[in-house]
């Protein structure tokens, strides 16, 4: 693994939060900036089925899940900083390749690879936070990062739409390539290694298999990981079919970018609110309440799409509430699930992110492919998947919601 000189000084909390947020934003840029251009990409590269355009996003999401299995274990072996810098460099390479590609199958292959290396930012960022914080304080930091990060889904579709006004879709990849170069320089110059030398893990099959087994069998964590997988499956299903649903079915056309961004703004706001209340009320109480409300609003979306399929005035506010609730679920579920794994946080973050993102991406692709010209399949998915998530949380919590754990969570030893 390449060696990079250490930066001269450590980060303050504000810069630390901003850096990790923008690292995660590279991943989100690869999803949301593309949305207004999906029709142009599919047409220019010869995609035949109208639903094939979803693969430009879906393949990237699945790649994120697969890549998440790799980078956490590498970061536990070689340290956070070196692996992160290598991941960003390869991310830039695949952005460049997507910019010059000429066939749709090749685009899907490179998007899958691009998603794999984009996962390095999210996985290693979570491990870096776990290196420095724990408990509700960790949940607060993750929420603060997510607050900044969630501005990207608000702005990214508009950025993509603006680029399309003056250039073609290939320029969108050029912008992402440039952002990757900027982040590489920032991390190289300012981020110090956060992993304690004594926590480095040997990179061998037995150790990896042992860590996998420990992570997936820990009852305190596994329900939260799988529950988040189901909830994120509904979210990714919305992202996959959002352009067809909003721009085509509801007939909003080029207004799609502004509608998508406006809804996502509430998700950014809820992450900010979560960062302010989670240490007072506890990650469990906040996330359990949000999940129960999510089940209800998912059912309302299903009913609205069944009985009033063309009513955007019903779809939009219900979907906005669902997106806002994600802000009270994602950071808290992730923080709770990482608590038992201080000694191999990178491996735990890697596997857990792979399960959440990879599993959610596959579910999202299934939900998106079920698009039938209405929001009904999406509504069914939001309700059913969130209900399944609630059952999984009950498993981890041994049948009791809203408990605030006293003392530290028992740590799993290496």
Q: Mean pLDDT over residues 148-169, rounded?
A: 84
Distance, in Å, from the CA atom of 164 to the CA atom of 179, rounded to the nearest integer, reads 18
pTM of this structure: 0.77
Sign for the CA dihedral angle at 256, 261, 264, 270 comes to negative
Q: Mean pLDDT over residues 170-187, rounded?
A: 94
Q: Which CATH superfamily, name and number, covers 13-194+204-396?
A: MFS general substrate transporter like domains (1.20.1250.20)
Q: Give the model's pLDDT for residue 86.
A: 93
Kindly state the percentage of the chain with pLDDT values over 70: 91
Is it the case that residue 8 has pLDDT exceeding 60? no
Is it the case that residue 233 has pLDDT exceeding 60? yes
Q: Would you kindly state where each structural domain of the chain is located, as residue ranges?
A: 13-194+204-396
**301 CB-near residues (< 8 Å, 6+ apart):** 315, 318, 319, 322, 375, 378, 379, 382, 383
Could you tell me which residue, 351 or 84, shows the higher pLDDT?
84
Distance, in Å, from the CA atom of 69 to the CA atom of 11, rounded to the nearest integer, reads 28
Q: Give the model's pLDDT for residue 24.
A: 83
Q: Give the model's pLDDT for residue 374.
A: 93
Q: Give the model's pLDDT for residue 392.
A: 96
Report the range out of 86-100, 214-228, 396-410 with the highest average pLDDT.
Answer: 86-100
Report the range out of 46-50, 138-142, 203-207, 385-389 with the highest average pLDDT.
Answer: 385-389
Q: Give the model's pLDDT for residue 5.
A: 65
Q: Give the model's pLDDT for residue 182.
A: 95
Among 23-27, 142-146, 287-291, the range scoring the smallest mean pLDDT is 142-146
Distance, in Å, from the CA atom of 209 to the CA atom of 204, rounded to the nearest integer, reads 9
pLDDT in tens, 243-281: 889 988 999 888 888 898 888 888 878 878 887 888 788
Q: Mean pLDDT over residues 325-352, rounded?
A: 81
Q: Give the model's pLDDT for residue 116.
A: 93
Q: Give the model's pLDDT for residue 407.
A: 47
Distances (CA, A) of 62 to 25, 28, 58, 79: 17, 13, 6, 25
């Amino acid at each position: 693994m390449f060696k990079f000189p250490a930066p001269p000084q450590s980060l303050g909390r504000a810069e630390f939060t901003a850096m990790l947020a923008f690292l995660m934003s590279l991943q989100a840029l690869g999803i949301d900036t593309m949305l207004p251009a999906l029709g142009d990409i599919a047409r220019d590269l010869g995609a035949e089925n109208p639903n094939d355009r979803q693969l430009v996003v879906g393949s990237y999401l699945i790649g994120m899940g697969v890549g998440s299995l790799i980078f956490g274990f590498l970061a536990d072996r070689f340290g956070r900083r070196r692996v992160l810098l290598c991941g960003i460099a390869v991310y830039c390479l695949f952005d460049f390749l997507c910019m010059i590609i000429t066939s749709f199958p090749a685009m899907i292959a490179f998007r899958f690879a691009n998603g794999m290396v984009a996962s390095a930012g999210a996985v290693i960022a979570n491990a870096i936070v776990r290196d420095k914080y724990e408990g509700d304080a960790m949940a607060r930091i993750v929420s603060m990062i997510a607050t900044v990060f969630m501005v990207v889904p608000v702005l990214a579709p508009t950025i993509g739409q603006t680029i399309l006004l003056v250039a073609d879709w290939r320029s969108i990849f050029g912008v992402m390539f440039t952002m990757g170069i900027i982040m590489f320089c920032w991390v190289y110059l300012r981020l110090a290694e956060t992993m304690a030398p004594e926590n480095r893990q040997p990179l061998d099959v037995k150790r990896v298999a042992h860590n996998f087994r420990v992570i997936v069998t820990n009852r305190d964590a596994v329900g939260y990981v799988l529950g988040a997988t189901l909830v994120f499956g509904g979210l990714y299903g919305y992202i996959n079919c959002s352009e067809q649903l909003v721009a085509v079915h509801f007939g909003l056309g080029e207004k799609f970018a502004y509608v998508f961004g406006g809804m996502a703004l509430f998700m950014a706001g809820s992450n900010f609110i979560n960062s302010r209340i989670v240490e007072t009320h506890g990650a469990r109480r906040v996330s359990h309440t949000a999940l129960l409300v999510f089940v209800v609003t998912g059912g309302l979306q299903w009913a609205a799409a069944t009985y009033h399929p063309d009513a955007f005035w019903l779809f939009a506010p219900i979907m906005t509430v669902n997106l806002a609730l994600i802000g009270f679920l994602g950071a808290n579920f992730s923080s709770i699930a990482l608590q038992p794994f201080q000694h191999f946080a990178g491996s735990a973050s890697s596997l857990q992110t792979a399960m959440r993102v990879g599993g959610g991406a596959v579910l999202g692709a299934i939900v998106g492919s079920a698009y039938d010209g209405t929001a009904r399949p999406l509504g069914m998915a939001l309700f059913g998947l969130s209900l399944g998530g609630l059952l999984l949380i009950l498993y981890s919590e041994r049948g009791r919601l809203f408990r605030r754990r006293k003392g530290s969570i028992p740590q799993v030893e290496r």
